[in-house]
Amino acid sequence: MNTSLGQPNVIAIAGFFTFVALSLVITYVAARRTRNAEQFYAAGRRITGFQNGMALAGDYMSAASFLGIAGLVSLSGFDGLIYSIGFLVGWPIVMFLIAEPLRNLGKYTFSDVVAFRLRQTPVRIAAAIGSLAVVAFYLIAQMVGAGNLVRLMFGLDYEVAVVIVGVVMMAYVSFGGMIATTWVQIVKAVLLLFGAFALALLALSRFGFNPLALFRAAADQYGGAVLGPGRLVSNPLDAMSLGLGLMLGTAGLPHILMRFYTVPDARTARVSVAYATAFIGFFYLLTFILGFGAMVIVGQPAIRAIDAGGNMAAPMLAEAVGGQAFLGFISAVAFATILAVVAGLTLAGAAALSHDLWVQVFRHGKASEKEQFQVARVSTVFLGILAIVLGIAFKGQNVAYMVGLAFAIAASANFPALILSIFWRAFTTRAAQVSMLVGTASSLLLIYFSPAIQIDILHNTSAPFPLRNPGLISIPLSFAVAIIVALAWPEPAAAAGFAEVERRVHVGVDEGVADSHLSR
């Protein structure tokens, strides 16, 4: 099949500039309403449940999902589904265990919750390290995806594309803060859901709108094996490790957790997770149709010829069923997706640097609103530059796999400390600190010693750690050290503070807005 991928597509470029212009308009409007730290980090807590549901979906449905999973399914069939499902099942966990307590106990970041009844400084430092590690891996994945997309669709250089994404995102995060980021997420979520749905419908129209006819065509063409588990999960322990990381990682992603502070109260947080899960589940069901659609309509050889990882399967399908114009639209949507996710990540990273490290650690909670706000903006610019540098340095990495690692780090570094601080009376400062640091360090080390780095990148013949994803070891390890340390060195003051946690978890602060002093 012929494809115009790799040559500039006028509609894609026009669509991209329209989205950038739109997000700058949103930024301009938002900037006039962003005058203090609460507006910058939490959009003034005025976002509704439906809006936050859309924004959560926007933050979560990254290009790695759209392009990566569609590509994975198109090349390996059923195996790609494991990612689709794993990315969704984290949401019920967020709903049942995290969303409402998080909103009731914190102010801007999840470390507010962990530090609530513990000693601020050590917890904040450890939480910031964990958050920044997650944000960095996630950013690498998005920036690499952005670079590849633009190179293939707009005919620009990879490096130029990475710089453009970084600069635009820096502009709208530093001026528009959470208000701009939220509205960009909402616009992007609508575009992505609409685009993916339209693409799935167009693909299904070739099969009488019957998904079974599509799957049957795939089985006829590539053999029945594409409908069942295959070589991607050759190692059962690897499948478990990936699954555990995907499921628990969602509840430890700083940019997702931060969104729960943009709504007025815990009930609204609950409603927003319900909407988010509905949208995200629908989207992941669509990735199935898109993947098998690309497999049958575009064909595996053509997909592989453009990108060995299959990342261009969805755009190629768009061109096959809707022509150049639709390809342009889908490309612009994919690009908007990356831009929006990068913005959410940068904002979360900036909150870790300014709210957790600068204000709470260096200034002991005594920074003025103005100072806090300025530090947040400077952090944004710093992270934007870091994202550009990392994006260029990690050129050529596999996007979906990198996101899987970010999830595993989040599940090991942040999730155990967060859950134990909410639900376990005997949890202590030292336990939180050790759990977050061991979670971060062990997942990073195991990634370094995994086959993905040792064999694929360093070209060694074997790897000391056999699994490609560290979750199966690093998550239980992080829980274990937390529990052992808490039991070995009790902290009576922290246990005494738990009564207030138990009350706040349910009622929050009576005004519906968290108060300014979080230490006991």
CA distance 43 to 29: 13
Taking contact as CB under 8 A, which single stretch among the options 34-42, 119-127, 454-462, 503-511 is the one that binds other proteins? 503-511
**Residue 228, interface with other proteins (CB under 8 A)?**
yes
**Residue 423, interface with other proteins (CB under 8 A)?**
yes
Block residue for tokens 């509205």:
183
Which tokens hold the place of 369? 């609103």
**Residue 247, interface with other proteins (CB under 8 A)?**
yes
Taking contact as CB under 8 A, which single stretch among the options 10-18, 162-170, 228-236, 362-370 is the one that binds other proteins? 228-236
CA distance 203 to 206: 6
Block residue for tokens 């913005």:
343
**Is 447 within 8 Å of 432 (Cβ atoms)?**
no
**Residue 200, interface with other proteins (CB under 8 A)?**
no
Which of these, 381, 462, 360, lies nearest to 118 by C-alpha position? 360
CA distance 46 to 30: 13
**Residue 425, interface with other proteins (CB under 8 A)?**
no
**Residue 223, interface with other proteins (CB under 8 A)?**
no
**Residue 473, interface with other proteins (CB under 8 A)?**
no
**Residue 212, interface with other proteins (CB under 8 A)?**
yes
**Residue 506, interface with other proteins (CB under 8 A)?**
yes
Residue 59 vs 238, nearer CB to other proteins: 238
**Residue 277, interface with other proteins (CB under 8 A)?**
yes
Which tokens hold the place of 408? 């595993």
**Residue 507, interface with other proteins (CB under 8 A)?**
yes
**Residue 306, interface with other proteins (CB under 8 A)?**
no
**Residue 224, interface with other proteins (CB under 8 A)?**
yes
Q: Which residue of 22, 285, 306, 426 would you call a contact of other proteins, by CB under 8 A? A: 285
Which tokens hold the place of 494? 């922290």
Minimum CB distance to other proteins, residue 167 (Å) = 37
Q: Which residue of 6, 8, 92, 466 would you call a contact of other proteins, by CB under 8 A? A: 92
Which of these, 303, 382, 334, lies nearest to 142 by C-alpha position? 334
Which tokens hold the place of 332? 């612009």
Minimum CB distance to other proteins, residue 213 (Å) = 6
What one-character-per-residue DSSP string does 277-334 give? HHHHHHHHHHHHHHHHHIIIII-HHHHHHH-TT-TTHHHHHHHHHHHHHHHHHHHHHH
Q: List, in order, residues 6 or more apart from 224 with CB less than 8 Å away.
A: none
Site for other proteins in 32-91 (CB under 8 A): 78, 81-82, 84-86, 88-89, 91
Block residue for tokens 């230490």:
519
User: What are the residues binding other proteins (CB under 8 A)?
Assistant: 78, 81-82, 84-86, 88-89, 91-93, 95-97, 100, 211-216, 219, 224-225, 227-230, 233, 236-237, 239-240, 243, 247, 267, 270-271, 273-274, 277-278, 281, 284-285, 288, 423, 502-503, 505-507
